[in-house]
Structure 1
Amino acid sequence: MITNISLVTLWVTDQDTARDFYVDRLGFETRTDQTLGDGFRWLTIGHPSQPELEVTLMVPGPPLDPGVADAVGRALENGTMSGLGLTVDDCQKTYDELTAHGVDFVQPPSERPYGVEAVMRDVVGNWVVLVERRPYGGEDFPHAG
């Protein structure tokens, strides 16, 4: 029986830079940092309030097909790779705090049917969404039906 999601991958161009961003600016913690054979590095982070979930910071390469690795690398370089969705208590307050710490936002807090959302870009090309959730149903979306 599956009980939860325990590991997700976030593609990054530089593991140290990504780790420092998520740990120093967003409050995550390093969980594992191990160099394995052939220079492969297994680096995971997690949020202190979610001990059961780790995020692997992975450089595009093996075991990805070379064409896929190149495409992921290009998306990161262009700043158009999707990343994580993070729940926040107060989107405006979190936006203000992170902006003061130099975090680059591509969308300020905006009202959505599901809550307040802001979109930032991490330092390696991923978009990260902050969401202050509120209850909603399908009827809250204009094209639902």
Structure 2
Amino acid sequence: MITGINTAIAWVLDQDAAKKFFTETLDLEVRADVEMGPGARWLAVGVPGRPDVQVALLVPGPPALDPESGERLKALLAEGALVSKGILTACTFTVDDCAAVHADLAARGVTFFREPEPFPWGVSASFTDGTGSCYELLEPSRTW
């Protein structure tokens, strides 16, 4: 029986830039930053006080992907193809007040491409990390 989710993957083009964005802008904490051999690094962040879930910030390519697939995914990230409509989010972050978190992050320079908007499942906004991936803020509906 599945009892939870431990790790989600967000593909990034630059792990150092992603680490800075997630820790300094989003106030997440580093869970792991380990060299895994030539050209491979396991970098994971998470919400302080919530050790059960982390987001791995990985550069497309070996060992997670074969070199050809990694290069294709890097090209998609570089051109912003995964962000353009905000449909494919790397991760959804739950918040208590989407409008307030949106305002705070926008003031910190985060680029939003969808402002807070109500849906049956809650209030949602989408933003980019500047390296080709997009993320969602979600204030879950109490009635969904």
- Give the TM-score range, shorter chain: 0.7 to 0.9
Q: Supply the AA of the counterpart residue of 1:74.
A: A
Matches within 5 A, 1:35-50: 35-50=35-50
Partner of 1:85: 92
Q: TM-score, normalised by structure 1?
A: 0.86
Query: How many pairs align?
Result: 137
Structure 1 runs (4+) deviating above 3 angstroms are: none
The 3-state SS of whatever aligns with 1:74 is: helix
The C-alpha deviation readout for 1:37-88, integer Å capped at 9, x for no partner, is: 2232111111113201121111111131233212211221122333111111
Structure 1 gaps of 5+ residues are 138-145
Partner of 2:32: 32
Partner of 2:8: 8
Shift of 1:115: 1.3
Q: 2: distance between equivalents of 1:96 and 1:114?
A: 21
Matches within 5 A, 1:46-125: 46-63=46-63, 64-81=65-82, 82-125=89-132
Q: Supply the AA of the counterpart residue of 1:71.
A: R
Q: TM-score, normalised by structure 2?
A: 0.87
The structure with the largest alpha-carbon Rg is 1
